[in-house]
Structure 1
Amino acid sequence: MKRTLLRTGDGSYTLHIPEWNEQYHSKHGAIAEANHVFIKSGLSHWFANNEPNEISIMEIGFGTGLNALLTLLESERENFIIDYTGVEAFPLTWEEIQQLNYSSMLNISDEKFLAIHKIPWAERTAISERFKLIKMQQLFSEINIENAYNLIYFDAFGIRVQPELWTEEIFQKMYNSLKTSGILVTYAASGNARRAMQSVGFNVERLPGPPGKKEMLRASKY
């Protein structure tokens, strides 16, 4: 499937899929969206409401690695200890990765961003003293994990183009994967997605969305 480079509203790049008219990140700002949805409403929220400084995260849709990079930077800034699992069915090519401008936009060297892409798949690797990463190449429907994560970044492609990723079946897998008091955050706010989450036991909140989007969802497991 063809992917083309697209500059988003905050100057950071994303990848566009012409066949679907869909982007990997918001066209209003890739970094702005990731920071708002996954860092502020997910990672920071979880640590604000839990005592340990350690967390286990699963990302659904590793994609460009932007969410993982921002989480790595947050672990260094806040002294968090993070065990990160990125799940991706169709990894980017090295050529596509090298075109992304996240390092320059965040005023950091390329070393950290490239490190998360260079490590082997299916091998947990220490990117820093406080951040371990394992990347798994698999379909989301193949995930069968129980009580393993504190936080899920649900960053799948939108319900318009891949409705099969926003079903009760998938969210049951997400619910099972979370530990008690775990949370799932996503940029999405559709009623169908919210009802699917609620049907498997999640308590779902509507939150203010990132730039260009009115709302997003955060789901909690009690």
Structure 2
Amino acid sequence: MIRIRLILLFIINVLPIISVASDNLNSDYFSKLLGVELGKQNLNDVQKMYGDAKIEDMGDAATSRSSICYAFTQNNIDQIVIFSSNNELAGKPNYVVTQIEIQIKSNPTKNLKCNAKVKNNRIPPSLIGKSKSEFSDKLGFNLKDVTNNFNYSFCNKVSMKKDEPTYSYWKGRTECFNSETTPYYDICTNIQAKFENSILLKLVLNRSESVC
């Protein structure tokens, strides 16, 4: 049995899980951030969009990841955005983006240089500096019970296409699927947010994909 586990690369203190019906979540919004779609585009695509930046390798073994970082300013707020490829889930040589993190620049991630400026400052509006209510509107449900930290995960089943190389391998594997069930991927997204005085200071999106 093959299983790819979600690795949370950035942990924000102790984060309460908010139990909310996923039907209310604007999941389309949280599959793509700052013009980059998790699980679809890679770090090379990001470089073409936002300019040259060094891809840096960080972590060991299961926590190993490749990341690039850019600095930019929006609404008079200095920010950084880190695009990462988890080397267990995707990694070299394709560098598929599995995580996006945005935060105020005054609290950068350790051990990662972030001197590259976004090319021509061409970057879509981020949510950093927005109020909790504005973030709530984008998220799709009420965050009135959230104080400083928010952590939420949701998953979707995506059927494999018959022309995919892995389809024939998984089709009919009764230990994973019913005999008449089309094989599928479990695509999971984790959202982490940090607020201070009801203002968003940090936002992290993670994506994982597993089978069986």
> Of Structure 1 and Structure 2, which has the larger fraction of its residues in strand?
2
Under TM normalisation by the shorter chain, which class is it?
A: under 0.3
Pick the structure with more helix per residue: 1
Q: Which has the bigger relative contact order, CA under 8 A and spacing at least 6?
A: 2
- Compute the TM-score of the two structures, normalised by the length of structure 1: 0.24
TM-score (norm: length of structure 2): 0.25
